[in-house]
Chain A
């Protein structure tokens, strides 16, 4: 089976940096996605990692360590509009995609 863990809630200050962690145990691994979901809206794609290391896209970066079953999403220069849930999703064996429960991030002034 597949198990994904991420914190339920986090709070950070506008302009700061926040790191959202995701740990996983899967049978097989074919990549890890991060999605952003604002309240009441559909998830939208943020980043994808399949090899170890850091992927940077503007204010957002994502890191993967396959040997540790660990990923994080780094958000820099936080803005109020970054208040949302961040979903970690792992593609395991047989291309099965499993989502974590999501981390609700609140950005405060």
Chain B
């Protein structure tokens, strides 16, 4: 089954304790992206990757890191989490953004992160 898999689904942690949220897709998609979703703010892009070893900042990259060593994996790293990073996070992938009808984003099930 074609899917984007995120783990964990729920995570409670404390300020400053490094964490990684994993994301994997099995559709051979080139484009992958991380979003956070907060009430009243919608989905905001954190980082995206157009292909292996190519990553770029989105709208809210501060406090986050990513890597794209393999096509299928795009982990999100919080080196020193803070309470303002408490949010619902989504990983997404597509064949590529742009004017192709067949390039919608496929989303993972989300990771609800709480930083105390």
A residues apposed to B, CB below 8 Å:
30-31, 33, 35, 40-45, 48, 50, 87, 89, 91, 95-102
**Stretch binding the partner chain, chosen from B18-26, B39-47, B72-80:** B39-47
Contact A42 B42 (CB under 8 A): no
Q: Bound state CA distance, A86 and B103, in angstroms? A: 18
B residues near A97, Cβ cutoff 8 Å: 33, 45, 97, 105
B: number of interface residues (CB 8 Å): 22
B108 at the interface (CB under 8 A from A): yes
Q: Which residue of A lies closest to B42 (CB)?
A: A101
- Known A101-B41, A102-B42; judge A45-B104 contact (CB<8 A): yes
Contact B109 A41 (CB under 8 A): yes
Contact B105 A43 (CB under 8 A): yes
B residues apposed to A, CB below 8 Å:
33, 35, 40-45, 59, 90, 96-99, 101, 104-110
B residues near A48, Cβ cutoff 8 Å: 101, 104
- Known A42-B90, A42-B107, A43-B107; judge A95-B40 contact (CB<8 A): no
Q: Which residue of B lies closest to A2 (CB)?
A: B59
Q: Bound state CA distance, A31 and B97, in angstroms? A: 9
Contact A95 B98 (CB under 8 A): yes
A sample of 18 cross-chain residue pairs with beta-carbon separation below 8 angstroms, ordered by A number, consists of A30-B99, A33-B104, A42-B107, A42-B109, A42-B110, A43-B43, A45-B105, A48-B104, A50-B101, A91-B97, A91-B99, A95-B98, A97-B97, A98-B45, A99-B42, A99-B44, A100-B42, A102-B43
Q: Which residue of B lies closest to A97 (CB)?
A: B97
